[in-house]
Amino acid sequence: MDMDATRKLLLLARRPHDLDTLVIAGVLGQALEAGRAPLIRGLAEARFQRLINEYFVDLALENHASECDRGDDEFEDLLQLLLDHRSHPNETSAWLAYAVASAAMGENHLWQDMGLPSRRHLSNFMISRFGSLAARNTGDMKWKKFFYRQMCERAGVPICKSPHCADCCDYAVCFGPEDDGGPA
């Protein structure tokens, strides 16, 4: 994984060792490396600029958000799940929810899509910022799988092949190791 964009962002960070900063820099860095726009989905330019000013010094960056950003994926549902579970229901936590939901639309393990150094960083971040949601992941399920199960439970849609994970033939898919470059 090319971390150059994230590293450059961290050089301009107000609090480069702060976990929230690692998340924002990682998500932005991954989007920049991939040439994606908007960098964080759903955040209007004014909100994005307040985020940039909160985390960085002298960084000129635009989100390039537009009304056409709404895709046919699960972004909005996941965003709402995260917003509802913010440990602190403030604007900072909202920015972080948008960042996580944006990154989660990627193809890899979530911690990789978020440009974080390890899965442990992601788990610590989830406990800190989305505590009531993280507390439900009692089996240390892969984070993306866990999100999707939560969304399906909310919607009353049973996508799982078994009512209980322990009896499910996909157990290894949902709970297997998440430290390699394999699918999310």
Q: Which residues bind ligand SF4 (CB under 6 A)?
A: 145, 149, 160-162, 165, 168, 170-171, 174
Q: Indicate the residue among 132 and 162 with the shorter CB distance to ligand SF4.
A: 162
Q: Indicate the residue among 41 and 142 with the shorter CB distance to ligand SF4.
A: 142
User: Rounded to an integer, what distance in angstroms lies between the CA atom of residue 51 and that of residue 97?
Assistant: 12
Q: Indicate the residue among 3 and 184 with the shorter CB distance to ligand SF4.
A: 184
The closest alpha carbon to 113, from 40, 60, 16, belongs to 40
> Measured from the CB of residue 14, what is the shortest distance to ligand SF4 in angstroms?
39
Specify burial of residue 3 (Cβ count, 10 A radius: 0-12, 13-18, 19+): middle
48 Cβ partners below 8 Å, 6+ apart?
38, 39, 40, 62, 63, 65
Q: Indicate the residue among 53 and 162 with the shorter CB distance to ligand SF4.
A: 162
Collapse the DSSP code of 56 into the 3-class scheme (helix H, G, I; strand E, B; otherwise coil) and give the result. Answer: strand
Query: Using only C-alpha atoms, what is the Rg of the chain?
Result: 16
Alpha helices for 85-118 (secondary structure H): 91-103, 110-113
> Measured from the CB of residue 110, what is the shortest distance to ligand SF4 in angstroms?
15
> Measured from the CB of residue 3, what is the shortest distance to ligand SF4 in angstroms?
31
> Measured from the CB of residue 150, what is the shortest distance to ligand SF4 in angstroms?
10
Q: Indicate the residue among 66 and 162 with the shorter CB distance to ligand SF4.
A: 162
In one letter, which amino acid is 36? R
> Measured from the CB of residue 105, what is the shortest distance to ligand SF4 in angstroms?
19
